[in-house]
Every structure is written in structure tokens, then in C-alpha cells.
Amino acid sequence: MKVKVNQQERSYDGDPQMPLMWYLRDELALTGTKFGCGAGLCGACTVHVDGKAVRSCVTVMQDVSDHSVTTIEGLSADGNHPVQKAWRAANVPQCGYCQCGQIMSAAGLLAENKNPSDDEILAAMSGNICRCGCYQRIFAAVKSAAKGA
């Protein structure tokens, strides 16, 4: 099967049931996509498939055949996507582990909805757990990125 990852065509002939997350992390060494729960519960592994935010730990390889996957490494060329900039301006991260997934969820939301309401932001981000508890800054950063987007 073929899959596009960060604009690059790849071919894959392994287990079609393997979660996309392990393909990205173990085979392509794209480790910005984090392993947090393996069950679609925490959002640390969030990537975009055809522009939409999905949990790569519960998305298997056959689901992305002939689709386009974007990881945090491919979100922007220089790390200056409006969401990434807003994250830094708000000093969001503590340990940082969940933040790639948070950023990918936020970028996915803003790609679909340039002017989300507070409730829409909370709903879009509710699948991403931050055990350090950076939520008030995450919320502020998404709001500020929406203004700048």
C-alpha cells in the first residue's frame, strides 16, 4: 500500500492492522507523535489525515492507504505555524510530552473553524490529556492562535 507522510510518498507492506502511530514512531522515527495510551483516550498521538485531526494509535495502516498524513514534524517548515507560535508566546508546556498532540488538535480545529467559540475550543481539545495541567494556558493559546489565524 501507499501512504503519503508529510508530503512524501511511502510504501508499506507490513501488518495492515498495525496502528499508524507505531509506523510513524518505530519505522519513520517521527517521534513527535507520542505514545500515551494506545486506546484513543489521551490524544498524545494526534496527527492529521487529509487535514483532519485523528488519533494515530487507533488508526490502523489500512485506514490510511492512499491518504495523506501530516505529523507535527510536517505541520510547518520552520515551527512557525500560528498554533506553534501561540504555544510559545503563552509558555504552555511543562514537561512537554503531550504538547505535539495538543498542537495538532488545535491546528486541526482552526483549519476547519477559523473563529471557534469557547465551547468549540473546549470540545475540540477535550480528547487531549495534559497530566501536568497546562489547560488554562492551552485554552489561552488556542484562542490567541485563532485571532492570529
Partner 1 sequence: MKNAKSQAIVTNVSRRNLLKGVVGTGGLVLAAQFVPANIAMAAYKTGAEGMPGGVVWDPHIFVSLDPSGIVTIVTHRSEMGTGSRTSLPMVVADEMEADWSKVKIIQAEGNEQKYGNQDTDGSRSIRHFIQPMRTCGAAARQMLEHAAALTWGVSDSDCRAENHKVIHGPTGRSLGYGELAAAASQLKTPDQKSLTLKDPSQFRYIGKGQVQITDLRDITMGKANYAQDIHVPGMKYAVVARPPVVLGQVKTFDEAAAMKVPGVIKVVKIPSTPMPAVFAPLGGVAVIADSTWAAIKGREALKVTWDDGPNKTYNSDTYKAQMQATARKPGKIERNEGDVDKALAGAAKVVEHEYYIPHGVHVPMEPPAAVVQIKDGKAEVWACVQSPGGTRGDVAKVLGLKPDDVRVNVTLLGGGFGRKSKCDFVQEAAILSKAMGGTPVKVVWTREDDIHHSFYHSVSYQHVTAGLDKDNKVVAWRHRSVSPSLMSNFMPDPKRESALELGLGLIDTPFNVPNLRLETGEAVAQTRIGWFRSVNNIPHAFAMQSMVAELAAELGRDPKDFLLEMIGPPRIVDPRKTVSSELWNYGDPWDTYPVDTARTRRVVERAAKEAGWGRQLPKGHGLGIAVQRSFLTYVATVVEVAVDDKGNITVPRVDTAIDCGFVVNPERVRSQIEGAAVMGLSLAKLNQITFKDGRVQQSNFHDYQVLRIGQGAMDVRTHIIAATIDDPSSGVGEPGVPPFAPAFINAVFAATGKRIRNLPVGDQLSA
For residue 137, give the 3-state DSSP assignment. helix
Selected binder of partner 1 within 3, 5, 30, 110 (CB under 8 A): 30
Extract long-range pairs of 122-127: CB within 8 Å, 24+ residues apart: 124/53, 127/40, 127/41, 127/42, 127/43, 127/46, 127/55
- The answer to the question of residue 88 lying near partner 1 (CB under 8 A) is yes
By CB under 8 A, is residue 64 in contact with partner 1? no
Instruction: Provide the minimum distance between the beta carbon of 54 and partner 1 in the complex, in angstroms, as a whole number.
Output: 16
Question: Any contact of residue 149 with partner 1 (CB under 8 A)?
Answer: no
**Is residue 10 part of the contact set for partner 1 (CB under 8 A)?**
no
CA distances from 79 to 75, 89, 100, 136 (A): 8, 13, 11, 22
Q: Residue 138's closest CA among 14, 128, 56?
A: 128
CB 37, CB 57: distance < 8 Å: yes
84 binds partner 1 (CB under 8 A): yes
Residue number with CB closer to partner 1 (49 or 125): 125
Of 112 and 118, the one with the shorter C-beta distance to partner 1 is 118
- Contact 49/87 with Cβ under 8 angstroms? no
Q: Smallest gap, in angstroms, from Cβ of residue 144 to partner 1?
A: 14
**Which residues are near partner 1 by CB under 8 A?**
15, 18-19, 22, 25-27, 29-39, 41-42, 44, 71-73, 79, 84, 87-88, 91, 93-100, 103, 122, 125-139
